[in-house]
Amino acid sequence: MLKFDIAKKSGLARAGVIHTPHGDIKTPAFVGAATKATVKALTMKEMKELGSQAILANTYHLLLAPGTELIKEAGGLAKFASWDGPTFTDSGGFQIFSLPDVKITENGAKFKSIINGDKFEMTPESSMQAQWNIGADIHMAFDQLAKSENYDDMKDAMERTHRWLDRCIAEHERLKNDNEEQYLYAVVQGGIFNDLRAESAKYCASKNVDGFGIGGVFVVDGMDEMLQTVCPILPEDKPRHLLGMGQEPIDLFVGAENGCDTFDCVAPTRMARNGSLYTLDGRINIKNAKYKNDFTPLMPECDCECCKNYTRAYLHHLFKTDEITAKVLASIHNEHFVVSVVDKIRESILDDTFDEYKKTFLLRYYK
RNA sequence: GCUGGAAUCGUCUAGUGGCAAUGACAAGAGACUGUAAAUCUCUCGCCUUCGGGCUUCGUAGGUUCGAGUCCUACUUCCAGCA
């Protein structure tokens, strides 16, 4: 069983430590999205230096390239990517949601390769096998994230996710080896319907898993209420990962406040590549003409490599001339921004100043 | 000096009788939440009560119902010959 120590609780919120075979994660923590075993535009050294504690890769993408057997041969994801720290893998369930032409059957989901168009099927069993090959510390159960706002469709997807969870657990147990430690999170679904969310949380809570992912969240309007439904049902002594949330700082506050321990999101690095950068006063588009002559740091209060050494005018120039360094510096900043926001949330839980920090931060950011 | 060729939005470019005029880049702005994303969308002559109105394709004339497109002259540039 994955070891998770809670150091401090405050309402539903908690600060703790997840002990993985590749190291500890002090929670709440923001996990970097390393979909194809790399955080886009950043080296693992830069990820360490900006304060990232863990990364999350994607099973579907690594299955297509370079293949999960190769990652196993390389010694596992962390070694392959030269990441000295904890790792997660997402199951490929999100691709059911995001890719076109996905066919879902009871057995699994039929995908088309985005690389060469080859058709293949991913099942709960094959996702587990792939994740064991990849060798991340924490695996996600193969789930179905549905698009629908129709209750019956959502219920179908949730129930299938539950049946798939049982198959994931069985396959995970079968693949367990006494010499290896890899852990499985069940994923709570239910979309925008709180009664389904509650049902899914109860189902997942009843299973012998190491933690929980909460999925399909960004389709929800009012995450607060949904988390207040789900988290109290989940066992307190196991970690919870809020899948895919973190573009908006408020999501990190609301997530942590309601008992989520880890987060991942592609938005900070994607937005960085597109020139949308976080500051304490909200996001700015550094490509805008008004930054051409702005010789101040992107965010004076920030201690990342980008903000300590470069000006907005310089970043503006790098973006306008389409220099690779623009994306590197912007990614360092945005990733550092969300990582440090969550780190400060942790500190504020530990010293009982969460409410104050949340209020001050959000008031300024969304003024 | 002679003989050809060329001049279209900031730049390059499409266009050979019905055109406010093609495409690319540049410029201006927006989007992005378990990454098919170094991507995508919108604007890009002026005005508009969004119906439309007005002024445009080196300059000046001409032919025509109608000209960026045809004719004449001029200006500038390019190539070849002197």
For residues A362 and A18, what is the distance between their CA atoms, to the nearest angstrom? 28
* Cβ of A267 less than 7 A from strand B: yes
**Distance of alpha carbon A190 from the chain centroid:** 19
Q: Which nucleotides of B are covered by protein (CB under 7 A)?
A: 26-40
Instruction: Identify the pLDDT of residue A352.
Output: 97
- pLDDT (mean) for A81-102: 95
| Least confident interval from A175-179, A232-236, A297-301 | A175-179
Which nucleotide lies at the shortest CA–C1' distance from A216? B34
Strand B contacted by A154 CB (< 7 A):
no
A266 Cβ contacts chain B strand, under 7 Å:
yes
DSSP A196-236: HHHHHHHHHHTS--SEEEE-S-TT-S-HHHHHHHHTTTS-T
Cβ(A260)–Cβ(A241) below 8 Å: yes
Considering only residues 298-337 of chain A, list those whose CB is below 7 Å from strand B. 320, 322, 324, 327
Residues A54, A34: Cα–Cα separation, whole Å: 10
Gap from A323 CA to B79 C1', in Å? 39
Q: How far is the CA of A288 from the C1' of B20 (A)?
A: 29
Is strand B less than 7 A from the beta carbon of A37? Answer: no
Cβ of A122 less than 7 A from strand B: no
Does the structural domain A3-265 have CATH classification 3.40.630.30? no
pLDDT in tens, A247-295: 999 999 999 999 999 999 999 999 999 999 999 999 999 999 999 999 9
pLDDT tier at A116 (50, 70, 90 boundaries)?
confident
> What is the average per-residue pLDDT within A161-181?
91
Question: How far is Cα A20 from Cα A248, in angstroms, rounded to an integer?
Answer: 28
| Closest nucleotide relative to residue A324's CA, C1' based | B38
Note the CA–C1' distance, A62 to B57, in angstroms. Answer: 54
Instruction: Point out the nucleotide closest to A97 (alpha carbon to C1′).
Output: B34
CA of A165 to C1' of B22 (A): 56
How far apart CA A198 and CA A336 sit, in angstroms, is: 34
The predicted structure's pLDDT at residue A174: 95
The whole-number pLDDT of residue A179 equals: 63
Give the pair of three-digit tokens for residue A99: 């890719």
The 8-class DSSP code of residue A311 comes to B
Runs of H (alpha helix) within chain A: 44-49, 59-64, 68-74, 77-80, 93-98, 124-134, 151-175, 194-205, 223-230, 249-257, 267-273, 305-309, 312-320, 324-350, 354-365
- What does the pLDDT read at residue A172? 97
pLDDT at A219: 84
Q: Please check the confidence at residue A134 and state whether its pLDDT lies above 70.
A: yes
Q: Which amino acid is at A23?
A: G
Radius of gyration from C-alpha coordinates of chain A: 20
Q: What's the mean per-residue pLDDT of chain A?
A: 96
Residue A140 approaches strand B within 7 Å at CB: yes
Residues 273-302 of A with CB within 7 A of strand B: 273-276, 285, 287-290, 292
Q: Is the pLDDT of residue A166 over 70?
A: yes
Delimit the domains of chain A by residue range: 3-265, 266-367
Q: Residue A228: is it exposed, middle or buried by C-beta count within 10 angstroms (0-12/13-18/19+)?
A: middle
- pLDDT score, position A148: 77
Q: How far is CA A279 from the centre of its chain?
A: 21
More confident residue, A220 or A243: A243
Q: Is the CB of A241 under 7 A from strand B?
A: no
What pLDDT band is residue A118 in, cutting at 50, 70 and 90?
A: confident
Q: How far apart, in whole angstroms, are the C-alpha atoms of residue A346 and residue A68?
A: 34
Record the pTM. 0.95
What's the whole-number mean pLDDT along residues A152-180? Answer: 93
Question: What is the set of active-site residues of A?
Answer: 90, 264
In which residue are the tokens 């129930």 written?
A159
What is the rounded distance in angstroms from the CA atom of residue A110 to the CA atom of residue A332?
36
Q: If we measure between CA atoms, which residue out of A185, A175, A247 comes closest to residue A217?
A: A247
Q: How far is the CA of A15 from the C1' of B59 (A)?
A: 78
Strand B proximal to A171 Cβ, under 7 A: no
| Residue in the structure block whose two tokens are 């009012």 | A222
Give CA–CA dist A282/A192, Å, rounded: 28
Report which listed range, A100-114, A148-162, A262-276, is most confident.
A262-276
Cβ of A94 near strand B (under 7 Å)? The reply is yes
- DSSP structure string for A120-151: EEE-HHHHHHHHHHHT-SEEEPP--------H
Instruction: Judge whether residue A52 has pLDDT over 90.
Output: yes
Interface predicted TM-score of the whole assembly (ipTM), two decimals: 0.94
